[in-house]
Amino acid sequence: MEGSLLKEFNPYLCYKNGSLYLEGVSLSDLAREIGTPLYVYSASYIRERVRAYYEAFPGSLVCYAVKANFNPEVIRVAGEEGAGADIVSGGELLCALKGGIDPEKIVYAGVGKTREELELAVDKEILMFNVESEEEIYVLNDIADRIGKRVRVSVRVNPDVDPKTHPYIATGLRKSKFGVDIENAKDLFKKAADLKNLDVVGVHCHIGSQILDVSPYEEAVSKVVDLCDDLIREGFEIRCVDIGGGLGIKYRPEDREPTPGDLAKAVRPHLSRLDLQVILEPGRSIVGNAGLLIAEVLFVKNKGHKHFIIVDAGMNDLIRPSIYDAYHHIVPVEDRDENYVIADIVGPICETGDFLAKDRRIRDLRRGDLIAVLSAGAYGFSMASHYNVRPRPAEVLVENGSYRVIRSRETYEYILYEKNY
C-alpha cells in the first residue's frame, strides 16, 4: 500500500526489495555515505514540472520562485527547461545568477527591498521590478537616474481574494502587507508613469501559497485583467500580466494536487481577453515533491501514554510542522517491519514544538533506522537555521541513477568561523 502511494507524490520514488529509491538511487546508501540529516532532490521531477507549466501556458514566462529552494543547482535545472526566476531579495538574485538564469528572465517582488538590493538589480538589468508601495517607486527612480538606466516596473496589486490556505501564507487579502489595494492601484500607476526613469509595463498579483483550489485564481485574474484593460484604455502601455504562483502540492495522501493544466483552464478565459505576456511564479509546485529529508532514528522512547521516535532532524532542518502545524508524510527508508505504532516523531531541538509528526501511524522503528520525510523540497532547507548551533544538512541532486552533492554538510567551524564575528 505504502509503495503504490509513493508514486502519487513523486513518480521517481519507489521501494525496491524493501528499500527506498529515488530516480534509481538508494536513499539508504546515500545516508550511509553522506550522513543525515540529508536533503535529496529529483532533477527529473523538477524538469517535468517546468515543462508542464509551459505546456499549459504556451508563450508564457515561467519564473521559478527562488524562495522555495535557493540552491543554485536546483535553479539551474529549472533554468535548463526555460525557467526564469522570481526573487524577493538581493541574495536570491545572486543565487539565480549563479544558477545560470538570464537577468532578462528575472522578476523582483518583495515589500522591503533595500537600496543596496535595488541598486544591484538595476545594475544587472533584470526584466522587471514588481513594486509594492509608492515610496518604492521614488527610490527606484532615483537609483535608476543615478546609475543612468531605465527600469521596467509592474505594480503589485492586492485583489482581496481569499486563497483558502494557511493565514500565514495568504498574501492577497486586503489586510495583507503585500501590494497595493486594487481599487487604489491606478493612482500609483499614474505616479510611476510620470517618473522619467521608469517604464510601467505590467500588473502583478500573488494571492498566496499552497493553494489546492484553483477558483481563487480565477477570481483574482479576472480582477487583474479588468485593471489591465482599464489601464490600456487610459493610454498605459501594459505589456504583461504576472499572475504569481502559489499552486499547492500533495502533502497528505488524500490531497488532490492541482496541475498547471487545471490552473490554465480556470484563468485562460480571462487572460485571452487581452494580448499580454503572461508571467507565472511557481515555486513549491516545481520543487516541493521533488525533495525528501532523510533522518536517522536516534532513540525510541515509550512513556506508556505516548510513544516517541526521536530522530536527528528537527525544526532547525524542517520548520514547517512547527510553525504551520503542517503535515508531511513520513515513510521508513527500509520497509521491513510489518508492525505499526502510533508515535510522535520528534527532533533533537530543545523545544516542545520540535516535531515532524504527531500521533502518526508508522512502521515500528528502532535506533539506527532511517525515515524519509516527503514533500520537503520546498521551504525545507531554505528555512533551515543554526538553532541550538546545529549545522545545516547536506543537499544532494539525483538524476537517472546518479547523484551529486550540491551543498556540503556544514561544520561547526563554518558556523563559528572567527571572521563571522
Same domain as 153, residue 258: yes
Cell of 103: 537577468
**pLDDT above 80 for 162:** no
Query: pLDDT tens digits for 313-333?
Result: 999 999 999 999 999 999 999
Are 391 and 259 in a shared domain?
no
251/131 same-domain check: yes
What is the per-residue pLDDT across 52-95, written as a single tens digit (0 to 9) for each?
999 999 999 999 999 999 999 999 999 999 999 999 999 999 99
Query: Within this chain, do residues 328 and 237 fall inside the same structural domain, yes or no?
Result: no
Residues 121 and 236 in one domain: yes
Dist. CA 54–CA 218, nearest whole Å: 19
Residues 249, 308, single domain; the answer is no
Q: What is the CATH number of the domain that holds 268?
A: 3.20.20.10
For the record, the C-alpha cell of 52 comes out as: 508542464
> In the listed set 227, 247, 282, which residue is the last one of a domain according to the structure?
282
Angle at 346 between CA 340 and CA 351, to 5 degrees: 155
Q: What's the pLDDT at 183?
A: 83
Identify whether residues 309 and 405 lie together within a single domain.
yes
Note whether residue 74 is domain-resident: no
Taking each helix axis as running N to C, give the angle between helix 115-124 and helix 134-147, from 0 to 180 degrees, rounded to the nearest 10.
50
Q: Tell me the residue type at 115.
A: R
Question: Does 99 reside within a domain?
Answer: no
Q: What's phi and psi for 385, nearest 5 deg?
A: -140, 175
Angle at the Cα of 269 from the Cα atoms of 267 and 270, rounded to 5 degrees: 70
Question: In terms of domains, do 190 and 305 share one?
Answer: no
CATH of the domain at 395: 2.40.37.10
| Torsion sign across C-alpha atoms 378, 383, 389, 394 | positive
User: Are 224 and 137 in a shared domain?
Assistant: yes
Domain that holds residue 292: 2-42+288-420
Residue 97 domain flag: no
Question: What's the rounded mean pLDDT across residues 259-284?
Answer: 96
At 171-230, the pLDDT tens digits run: 444 556 777 888 888 999 999 999 999 999 999 999 888 999 999 899 999 999 999 999
Q: What is the dihedral of CA 22, 23, 26, 27, to 10 degrees?
A: -30
User: Are 251 and 267 in the same domain?
Assistant: yes
pLDDT interval class at 159 (50, 70, 90): confident
205 is annotated as an active-site residue: no
- Tell me the three cell numbers of residue 59: 508563450
User: Whose CA is closest to 166, among 377, 324, 355?
Assistant: 324
Tally of domains in the chain: 2
Predicted TM-score (pTM) of the model is 0.94
Q: Which 8-state DSSP code applies to residue 410? A: P
Alpha carbons within 13 A on the beta-carbon side of 194 = 8
Q: What percent of the chain has pLDDT over 90?
A: 87
Neighbour tally for 233: CB within 10 Å: 8
- Whether 230 maps to a domain, the answer reads yes
Q: Strands, E, within 25-91: which ranges?
A: 25-26, 38-42, 61-65, 84-87
Among candidate residues 95, 205, 228, 350, the one labeled active-site is 350
